[in-house]
Amino acid sequence: MRSHRQKFDDDESTFLKRGRLEPRLAEEPDLPETGDNWSSWDGAFHGPDPRPGWVRTEHAAVDDELGMLKTGKEADVYLVRRHIPETDKVSMLAAKRYRDGDHRLFHRDAGYLEGRRVRRSRENRAMAGRTSFGKEMIAGQWAVAEFGALSRLWQIGQASGLVRVPYPVQLIGTELMMEFIGDWETGEAAPRLAQVRAGQDELAGLWEQMTDALSVLARAQVAHGDLSPYNTLVHDGKLVLIDLPQIVDVVANPQGADFIARDVRNVAGWFTQRGLRVDPDDLLDRLLHEAGLR
């Protein structure tokens, strides 16, 4: 006996004709008349208040990508000009784009992540075991961690005046947009401390700024975790700390004191090599006391 099958719409001979895809438009219809893309401000997490006046929040703002500022093992940084066309309302941003778990090389993940926990035990186990899912979880934490660190230190810096970091403008996924530290007219980035050629008086002033910044971090019970002359900028004579995804809670992390000590050794060694007499042991003792670890 022949069975009678109900005929559905996709059995009709005209289905393919009626359901075929239309040709893709040659150009994206919603691109701005000038600029590469509309500003992504509306779809992002935003930096802390009070927000600097130069931050462009207008719907009419557009973004122009001007080139790469820095490439690294974990992320690449691009220069972005956010502006309102035909006005002088401009902000210059550094867009830091973290690589995913297959293309990044945070070789010290385990130490930095001690003391950080997510709520679900499955995710904690995956991160601890470095499974593929766990690597993605770890990768996703870095942009969030740096955004949070910059937000916290920006607010601390505004209150104390003793620690300076770029203002974190926004976060979308693994892209962090922050204040560009450098010449906004030319797009030239501020030099790293390691590039600075300074006399003894200037070195002494920079060392004082460094110790003040470390003291503020210690009182906040955090350590940079990877501080060096290569991730410290000098802009208009002021030190600016950058590259903060690995910021360490020195109380929650059992290696907290070691991270403070490493930061001190890294920067003190550079100043010592340039002829400035510093006492890293005395500084470390003070920082550990200020952090409540001694």
| Residue 256, domain member (yes or no) | yes
Domain boundary among 189, 206, 228: 189
Confidence (pTM): 0.80
Higher pLDDT, 86 or 2: 86
Confidence of residue 73 (pLDDT cuts 50, 70, 90): confident
Exposed/middle/buried for residue 270 (C-beta within 10 Å: 0-12, 13-18, 19+): buried
19-28, 85-94, 208-217: which range is least confident on average? 19-28
Domain boundary among 156, 189, 222: 189
43-52, 141-150, 217-226: which range is least confident on average? 141-150
Q: Which pLDDT tens digit goes with each residue over 1-53?
A: 444 444 434 343 333 334 444 454 455 557 888 778 999 999 999 999 999 99
Name the residue among 251, 243, 254 with its Cα closest to residue 222.
251
| Residue 80, domain member (yes or no) | yes
| Residue 27, domain member (yes or no) | no
Long-range Cβ pairs for the range 231-237 (8 Å, 24+): 231/192, 232/192, 232/193, 232/267, 233/181, 233/189, 233/190, 233/191, 233/192, 233/193, 234/190, 234/191, 234/192, 234/193, 234/196, 234/206, 235/181, 235/182, 235/190, 237/205
| Residue 122, domain member (yes or no) | yes
Does residue 112 carry a pLDDT above 70?
no
Statement to judge: residues 174 and 209 lie in one domain: no
Please state, in angstroms and rounded to a whole number, the distance separating the CA atoms of residues 190 and 180. Answer: 9
Statement to judge: residues 274 and 291 lie in one domain: yes
| Residue 266, domain member (yes or no) | yes
| Residue 25, domain member (yes or no) | no
Q: Give residue 238's pLDDT.
A: 97
| Three-state secondary structure call for residue 125 | helix
Statement to judge: residues 262 and 149 lie in one domain: no
Statement to judge: residues 165 and 241 lie in one domain: no
| Percent of the residues in the chain that have a pLDDT greater than 90, as a whole number | 69
Q: Give the CATH number of the domain where residue 227 resides.
A: 1.10.510.10
Assigned token pair, 149? 């660190």
68-72, 93-97, 103-107, 165-169: which range is least confident on average? 103-107
Does residue 253 carry a pLDDT above 70?
yes
Statement to judge: residues 211 and 274 lie in one domain: yes
Statement to judge: residues 101 and 238 lie in one domain: no
Statement to judge: residues 79 and 164 lie in one domain: yes
Does residue 173 carry a pLDDT above 60?
yes
Other Cβ atoms within 10 Å of 103 Cβ, number: 10
Please state, in angstroms and rounded to a whole number, the distance separating the CA atoms of residues 230 and 247. Answer: 16
Please state, in angstroms and rounded to a whole number, the distance separating the CA atoms of residues 166 and 150. Answer: 7
User: Residue 253 sits in which domain range?
Assistant: 190-294
Does residue 127 carry a pLDDT above 70?
no
Statement to judge: residues 182 and 211 lie in one domain: no
Statement to judge: residues 56 and 158 lie in one domain: yes
| Residue 149, domain member (yes or no) | yes
Statement to judge: residues 81 and 161 lie in one domain: yes
Domain boundary among 169, 189, 209: 189
Mean per-residue pLDDT, 138-151: 85
Q: Give residue 122's pLDDT.
A: 53
Statement to judge: residues 178 and 252 lie in one domain: no
| Residue 14, domain member (yes or no) | no
Number of compact structural domains in the chain: 2
Confidence of residue 115 (pLDDT cuts 50, 70, 90): low
Statement to judge: residues 152 and 183 lie in one domain: yes
Assigned token pair, 206? 């920079």
Helix %, strand %, coil % for the chain, to 5? 35, 20, 45
Computed over every residue of the chain, the mean pLDDT equals 84
